[in-house]
Amino acid sequence: MFAIIQRFFNFCNKENRRKFNLAIAVGVVNSFFMALRIAAVAVMIQGVIASLKDGVSFSANTIYLSLGIMAFSLLGAIITKKNVTMWQTEGGYRTAANKRIEIAEHLRYIPMGYFNENSLGQITSVTTNTMELLGDVATRAVMMVMQGLLDSALIIAMILFFDWRIALIALSGFALFQFVNIFMRLSVRSVSAQKDKADTKQVSKILEYIQGIAEVRAYNLTGVHRTELNSVIDECRDACLKMELRCIPIAAVQSLVAKFSGVAILLASLYFYLNGTMLLSNCAVMLICSFMLFSAMESGGNYSALLRIIDIAVKKAEAILAVPTMDIDGRERPAEQGKTHLVSFAPNGSLPTPKTPELTAQNITFSYDKKKIIDGVTLTIPPKTTCAIVGPSGGGKTTLCHLLSRFWDVDLGEVTLAGKNVRDYDMDSLMENFSFVFQSVYLFHDTIANNIRFGQSDAPMEKVIEAAKKASCHDFISALPDGYDTVIGEGGASLSGGEKQRISIARAIMKDAPIIILDEATANVDPENERDLMTAISELTKEKTVIMIAHRLKTVRNADQILVIDKGRIAEQGKHEELVNLGGIYARFIDSRKKAVSWKL
């Protein structure tokens, strides 16, 4: 139990851990104030017994003393409980918020292959359900268990002050209670893992169902997929019920142990009084203590079953944070003299953004899941030139672009930017060199203006409008009811494909990076939008280095160089005319495109 609590505290950052430590420290004081009620009751009982025994009137001073102790106990308990609750609440919710941010920052620097191996549902489950559990349930459970232990310990200490024999009975009952508690946590270990797995599976299936609802309805598979979703939800329900059913019998035994401990204290106190070894006043106080101890023990015990779930939740979050990131800090090396693009380090040791960088790859190799995707590729892309990448599907075109922009790290060889290995740049300064326009555009549930200025929240509206005009999207944005303040659906669901694509180009124009990567940017655009889109791309790529993956002839033929990628290698390389005359893969590609264009209905 203490190991789980310690793991939870270590999981919190320094500031939040300080709040929890304060909560525990003040919780000890709170327990002391709560235990003072025993003293108040003892004073009153002793006064009553003394008055009856001596036949004198009940002393007002005794009443005032008892009420004073009780008032002091109550006031202190209220103040300390308020502070304890505030600190544990702040610590819990801030821990959840900070860990969400930490996980998000960590995911930025994890190789892209991680997201192929780990489902979106798992990551979503950790950042939502798991963090919610830690922020709310975990904090309350940990603090209630700790408070229950503290209250029980101080009550037993107070009992020891009156009679060591009763204290020994109370301590034995407390030990038996903790033994049953340990057995309960062990019994729910396997069920807790099943519940956690079911939660993750449920989130994953719900996301899959929502994201694929269009295809499900289009193929009239609503009932089939709803059955699958219902099955996963039922599985999660069954796991929760199984855990509760596993806990209930043991919790009942635990409650009986607490009650019998109180009964044992009560009977022992009466026995000791009747045989003359305990004062009547002490006996009466012990009877009250038996109920207080029972309440304190149950207060902590009722939440202890949740500790196992808390432990799993913390381990899940730690597992994501433990995934190795790419080397994002860079290494300080002096700039090489004599290069066309001289690079000097900024005061903080990071490489500054080069104005006209040359991008090269020397004999790079990359494998994914033991399958070689890129095999010994060497290329040079001079500044302000256009490089088109074509080839059969699955040949490695997109992977090559990801390696050039360091979405992944190469296994062998090196990628250099302005004469420096891309590993020598810190990740943020490296990304300042690249802008991306993908075939599948993702827009955020926010205003159009904020989507365009994404990453530059302080950019003035004039710059946003200027970028939109260059991307040929100002007119349709202005025609919307709220213009640039129009809130679009998540993923840009309320816009057409061409409109989303042009907004993503406006975003790239705002970034003004020296290298532009276009991954099938015009593949799914209808003819009506194509002209505007090509105009937007023309504005984006002015005076830039352009790397494009394309299947359309007119977007390829004017490139300064064309790379034909097949089975992870550069099969052909050159200009359009040169490759056509070779009569190889590229020539066949061009011929098939010409035949496709000539088809008419």
**Interval 430-486: pLDDT, tens:** 888 888 887 777 788 888 898 888 877 788 898 889 888 888 888 888 988 888 898
Count of beta carbons in the 10 Å neighbourhood of residue 119? 17
Q: Which residues contact 228 (CB under 8 A, 6 or more apart)?
A: 205, 209
When comparing pLDDT for 32 and 328, which is higher?
32
When comparing pLDDT for 195 and 333, which is higher?
195
Q: What is the 3-state secondary structure of 382-397? A: CCCCEEEEECCCCCCH
Binned at pLDDT 50, 70 and 90, residue 511 comes out as confident
Q: Is 583 helix (H, G, I), strand (E, B) or coil?
A: coil
The encoded tokens of residue 13 equal: 């950052």
Q: Please, are residues 383 and 357 in contact by the beta-carbon 8 Å criterion?
A: yes
The pLDDT tens digits for 235-258 are 888 887 887 777 778 778 888 888
Q: Is 482 helix (H, G, I), strand (E, B) or coil?
A: coil
257 vs 146: CA distance, rounded Å = 19
CA geometry: angle 566, 572, 576, nearest 5 deg? 120
Q: Which residues contact 427 (CB under 8 A, 6 or more apart)?
A: 108, 109, 326, 328, 406
Check residue 524 and give its pLDDT: 54
Q: Is the whole-model pTM more than 0.75?
A: no
Check residue 75 and give its pLDDT: 92
The pLDDT tens digits for 513-555 are 888 888 776 655 555 666 767 777 777 778 888 888 876 666 7
Check residue 363 and give its pLDDT: 92
Residue 595 pLDDT exceeds 80: no
Q: What mean pLDDT do residues 153-162 have?
A: 85
Q: Please, are residues 163 and 287 in contact by the beta-carbon 8 Å criterion?
A: no
The pLDDT tens digits for 342-362 are 333 344 444 444 456 789 999
Binned at pLDDT 50, 70 and 90, residue 364 comes out as very high
Check residue 46 and give its pLDDT: 78
Handedness of CA 341, 346, 351, 353 (dihedral sign): negative
The pLDDT tens digits for 402-434 are 888 888 888 899 999 988 888 888 777 888 888
Residue 405 one-letter amino acid? S
- The residue among 82, 63, 93, 75 whose CA lies nearest residue 33 is 75
Check residue 168 and give its pLDDT: 92
Binned at pLDDT 50, 70 and 90, residue 312 comes out as confident
Which pairing describes strands 359-368 and 371-381: parallel, antiparallel, or unpaired? Answer: antiparallel
Q: Which residues contact 371 (CB under 8 A, 6 or more apart)?
A: none
When comparing pLDDT for 221 and 516, which is higher?
516
- Ordered DSSP codes for 12-26: S-HHHHHHHHHHHHH
Check residue 337 and give its pLDDT: 30
CA geometry: angle 199, 201, 202, nearest 5 deg? 65
**Range of weakest confidence among 19-33, 168-182, 351-365, 517-531:** 517-531
Check residue 378 and give its pLDDT: 92
Residue 569 pLDDT exceeds 60: yes
**Range of weakest confidence among 48-52, 121-125, 348-352, 502-506:** 348-352
Check residue 338 and give its pLDDT: 29
Residue 333 one-letter amino acid? R
The encoded tokens of residue 551 equal: 């299947």
586 vs 377: CA distance, rounded Å = 18
Q: Which residues contact 144 (CB under 8 A, 6 or more apart)?
A: 299, 300, 302, 303
